[in-house]
Each structure stands twice: as structure tokens, then as C-alpha cells.
Chains A and B, each alone.
Chain A
Amino acid sequence: MASPSARAQRRTAALLLAPFLVLFSAVTLAPLLYAGWMSLFTTRTSGLGFGGARQVFAGLDNFTAALSDPAFRHGFLTIAVYVAVYIPVMIGGALALALLLDSGLARARAFFQLALFLPHAVPGLIAALIWVYLYTPGLSPVIDLLGNIDFLSADNAVFSTANIAVWEWTGYNTVIFYAALKAVPGEVLDAARIDGAGGIRTALSIKLPMIRPSVALAVLFTVIGSIQLFTEPKVIYSASSAIGSSWTPNMYVQTAAFTRNDFGLAAAASLLIALFAAVLSFLVTRLSRHRSQS
């Protein structure tokens, strides 16, 4: 039964949803579909390159080419090492700081929240510029103190990049975890205190399990963000070519498109990265749901 009111609601919903849905189709779906189409073709130059380039249907060749390219695979290896370094330090640090803020012993809580959170107001590119200057011998006020570590070498690039990300994101996640901690009911904590649990015991056995969903979500967003790593290494790469132009999957995509002019390969690699991120986020979401139900 379509009453006038139901009809009015449908009409208004269409009106309110139209701008978002039209644009969403144009700048999210259409590019993905078009890239999917592009990824099925490859450019052949005929003869000696005088005949101009032709687009030839290649099926899934671009995908197999990307997946079998050591440079592309190495990009994912870089991300794996980076995640192994970055997530424990950043999430662990954010948890520790949030628990300290919530311990009832911290002074100047508002100031500390703000100070820790401030790097998040700095765009990633500028954060990377600042740190690369701080990593540069002759410019840096800290390198001499630390005994001349070469922050820009191939071996240290993962740590240097992870440090920039730690600087940008630790405070952000501290604020999220601290907000979650404030939602832990006071009665629970009172009960723990009456049972004789000390501050550290309470933090580890009571507070941490209660904010597990927030932590799981933060880890998920961090992993998705890590797969997309581009800006910070790109800036480091300008300062030192030790890390190579395909050091992360996104750098590989950019190199494939604009250095090798192979758009089919770049499209295929882009889609593989998107797919990888989507599958990973799906799995993590499923796992955390599963965990919280059991």
C-alpha cells in the first residue's frame, strides 16, 4: 500500500541520495570498472616502432605479469616487514599512553592529549619532509647524537618510514583508546580495586580486554593504510635512491604507469592492491566478530 506519505518519503530519499550516488558511481565505480577493462589489454608496438602502438587483448596476462614480477612481490615484502615493525610499536605505544592517561595519576591530561595528537594535523607529505630533513646528515640536529646512523640506507628505510608513521598516528590512536577506556564502567574498576588488584594488574586484565574492539578496529585501519604506503617512501626516495623506485606496491604502480608507460600493467597492479586490501579488511572484520562472539 503506497500511502501518500510513503510516496513522499521515497521521492525525498531519491532526491537526497542522488548527488552522492551519482558521484560515487562516477568517481569510484566507473574508474574501477574502466581500470578492469584497461587491465585486459596490452600495448604492442609493431615492427620497429614506426607503425605506432596498438592495443591488443591480453586476457589476464597483465595480472600474471604483475604477480610474477619480483619487483611487485618485493613491494609486498616491504609492507610485511614494515607492518611487523610499525604495528607493535604504534599500537603498543598508543595503548600504553592511553592507559597512562587513564591511570588517574597523570597530570595535565588535556595538554598531553593535545600534544600527542598534534602531529595528526600535519599532512603526511610535510611530516615526511620534516623527518627526512632530520634524517639528513649535516642538517640534522640528532644524527650526531645517535652515532651517525644512516637513516636513508636501504636497510634502515623501513625503520625510518615506520618512525614517520609512528609520529603521525600514535597520538591519534591514543585519543581513540583513551575515549574507549573512559567508557569502562567505574563499578568494574572499583570491584577490581576491592579485590586488591594494583594499577598495572587492572590495566592489563580488566581495561585491555574491555577495549579490545577499539584496538581491533585500529589495527584493521592501520593495516589497510600500510598497504597503501606511498607518500613517506616517495619523499625518502627523492633524498636517497637506495630504496628503489618500486619499493612499495603503490610506487610500483606509479613506476609501471609513468616510467614504463605500461598502463595495462599499472591498472592490473592497482586492482590487485585494492583487492588485497578489501579481502584483508573483510577477513579481519570476520575474525574480530568471531572472536567477540566466542
Chain B
Amino acid sequence: MTKPLTLPAPAPAPAAARTGRSAPARPRPSALLSKAGVTAMLGLAALYTLLPMLWLLLSSTKSRQDLFSTNGFAPGKQFALFDNLGHLFGTDHGIYLRWIVNTVLYAGVGALLATVFAVAAGYAFDKLAFPGKEKLFAFALLGVMVPGTALAIPLYLLAARVGLVNTFWGVFLPGLVFPFGVYLARVFSAAYVPDEVLEAARMDGAGEFRAFCRIAFPMLAPAFVTIFLFQFTQIWNSFFLPLVMLSDKDLFPVNLGLYVWYSSALSQGHPQDYLLAVVGSLVSVAPLVVLFLMLQRFWKSGMTAGAVK
């Protein structure tokens, strides 16, 4: 586990940074090892990952009759996407939009603050000298060991004690802590912020805090985006915590709202809620997919930084 950590430069790295990666000199007649064979196998896997997404997209454009009566991987008889969207945003006095706003607050603002705190802490662990540093770092890493869902009930019990159950803060505050982000920030700080630059700043008489804000922080911008994306996805994904913490519909993140619609479609015989859950899923996934496509590189650098120790 002692590989050097290679981080992508702020420009995309070339796909194959080594020599001699051509196809074998003598192509074998084996079907598995032909270009067509390899591409076909990858194509099958891609079909498996993309078809459910296609189903979501097509189903969102169907009327309720077509949803149940036409093939899931084919378009419906009528194009009902706009009716469905109107229904989605109109239901229950536009509660869906409220859920989206809540989610942006929980995941967006929450991850932003969590990232600021994680980058500040990771930088301090990497660049500053203080007593008991490694012990404190090990202590923070304990947080990586504790699985998030195992904290949901303990958080609920504590929140009940201090009166934060069924409040915005009960879901928002736990999202501000991201121990794995502190670990990543320390790794990124070691890779991105040269000690010489800090020494030079100290020689020039810049204060430590100023040196962090003015010099190190801008250098850590790519790390910031990576850590933010990680935590943003994590909060956006969280389901168990809001499920136990919230009962007031107006405070729901979108996941929980969709779940409630979906269960009511099943249990209380509200078949129209079937479509709501489908269209609502599409609308809440679309921005994530766009974000993801735009910021792929940051995503991957965090994943591989976490994987290559």
C-alpha cells in the first residue's frame, strides 16, 4: 500500500501515460480477444447500466394508461411529459419544488460548509506543527470507520434529547462533518501545496492564517471541488437519517418525498402517485447527471486518491 499518490494535473491527463500499449503484435483468432469481441462485451455491460435509465426517461413521458399498457423500453402512444411535469409541480401546492429547495440546502450548503471545514483541517494536519497532531488525526479517522447509517438512531436519540427532531437542523448539522474529506484534504495538501511556497510566505512575514487563505487555499481548489462532490453526493443520497428524523413533509429532502409517494401508490391505492414518483425521480436525477458529466475529472481524482494509499 505504498504507491506514490499520483494526482491529475489540473489539465486532464493523457489516457495512457505509458509506452507500448498497442494491441498484441499477432492478433489471436480467439473471439474473446478480438477488438469486436471486447467491445461487444463492454457494450453488453453498458446496455445493462443504461437501459434502466432509458426506462425512467421513457416512462416519464407516458400517460398513466401507457405506463401500464405499453412496453417500458418503447415510447408511449401519447407524449405526456409536460402534463406529468405540470402535475408534479402542482401536486400538494407545489411541495415537490419545496423538497428540491430543501435538498439543495441540505446537500449544497451542507457540503459546501463541510468541505471548507475539511480542507482547513486537512491543511492544518499536513502543513502546521502542533503537539499531539498524529493522535488527533487518528481520532478523526475513527469517524471514517463508523458507518453512517449506524449513527442515524443515535443521532435521532440525541436530537430528541435536545429538541432537534423534526427540525431542519436535525438533518443539516450531521452533514457538516466529513472525516474522510479531512483525510483526502491532507493527502491533496501534501501533493498540491509545496512547502517552499509557504516558507517564502513566512519569510515575507505573512501570517499563518493569511498564508492559508491567500496562498494554499487557491492551490487546493481542485481538491475542494473533489471533496465537495463526494459529500454532496453522500448527503443527497442519504435516506435513513431523514426518514427517522423528519415527519413534517415541508422539511423533507426529495428522496424521502419520492419514497412517501411511492409507498402511498402501493399501499393506499393511489395509482396516480406511481407516475409522480417516476417523474419526480427523473427531475431530481437530471441535475445530478449533468453535474456529474461536467465534473467527472474531479470525481475520479477523489476516488483514485482514496484508493491508492
Contacts and interface: CB of A to CB of B under 8 A. Distances in A.
B169 to A, nearest CB: 10
Contact of A198 (B33, B49, B52, B68): B33
B281 A289 contact: no
Interface in B80-133: 116-118, 120-121, 123-125, 128-131, 133
Interface string A112-139: 1011111111111111011101100011
A263 interface: yes
Given A12-B124, A19-B120, A230-B239, A31 B136 contact: no
A interface majority secondary structure: helix
Given A118-B49, A250-B240, A281-B145, A105 B73 contact: no
Interface in B221-249: 233, 236-237, 239-240, 243-244
Contacts of B292: 118, 120-121
Contact of B120 (A17, A186, A263): A17
Nearest to B145: A278
A72 to B, nearest CB: 14
A13 B154 contact: no
Contact of B157 (A8, A19, A31, A231): A31
Interface residues of B, number: 114
A118 to B, nearest CB: 6
B176 A167 contact: no
Contact of B262 (A8, A183, A238, A270): A238
Interface stretch (A48-56, A78-86, A170-178): A170-178
A224 B180 CA distance: 14
A277 B145 contact: yes
A130 B56 contact: yes
What DSSP secondary structure best describes chain B's contact surface? helix
A124 B300 contact: no
A32 B154 contact: yes
B53 to A, nearest CB: 7
A200 B33 CA distance: 8
Contact of A238 (B28, B117, B263): B263
Given A183-B6, A231-B240, A235-B262, A13 B130 contact: yes
Interface in A211-255: 213-214, 217-218, 224-225, 227-228, 230-231, 234-235, 238-239, 250, 253-254
A86 to B, nearest CB: 15
29 contacts: A9-B129, A13-B130, A17-B120, A27-B174, A106-B35, A106-B38, A112-B42, A114-B293, A115-B50, A116-B45, A129-B258, A129-B277, A130-B55, A130-B56, A139-B67, A179-B300, A189-B21, A193-B20, A193-B25, A200-B32, A200-B33, A213-B3, A214-B307, A250-B150, A257-B153, A258-B244, A267-B157, A273-B149, A288-B1
